[in-house]
Amino acid sequence: MAEVLFKGNKVHTSGKLPKVGARAPDFRLTRGDLVEVSLQDFAGKKKILSIVHSLDTGTCAASAKAFEARAAQLPGTVILTVSNDLPFAQKRFCEAENIHAVVPLSQMRDRKFGRDYGVEYLDGLLAGLLARTVVVIDENDRVVYTQQGPDTSQEPDYEAVLKAVRG
């Protein structure tokens, strides 16, 4: 269980982030066309999981835009933004913000993702949502990097993520 700050108050997550070197937990998430995808659907590619509460929050929206801006620098890498938002809302956000390289995924049908990755908030105003976290997974589905900021208002360290992807 991790502690992070939300507006100065401590909130707790459902567990620990996946360990670097471990096999990434599989998942069932929903794309904008309502089709379910799993980790295997991205086999052979590096994966950045940008996990956010909601694309309707300022910092989470900024994170999606920042990863979109960096996507061209990462050939062979898929950037997946995972949230509790419904696929319709994710699609509307991406269209409005001209986001095409980042793949939005929803855990609307299967909340197991948040628990398996240790990022579901257990208490506080955000209980049930996902903690802002980045997990980098290699082509063999091994976790190579994790990052969870101490405060929900902080954007990820994008340069550290890029470095982890490039190895």
Residues annotated as part of the active site:
60
- Please, what's the b/e burial string for 5-22 (b: 16 or more CB within 10 A of its CB; e: otherwise)? ebeeeebbbbbebbeeee
Distance CA 32, CA 105 (A): 7
Q: How far is CA 142 from CA 25, 45, 114, in A?
A: 9, 11, 18
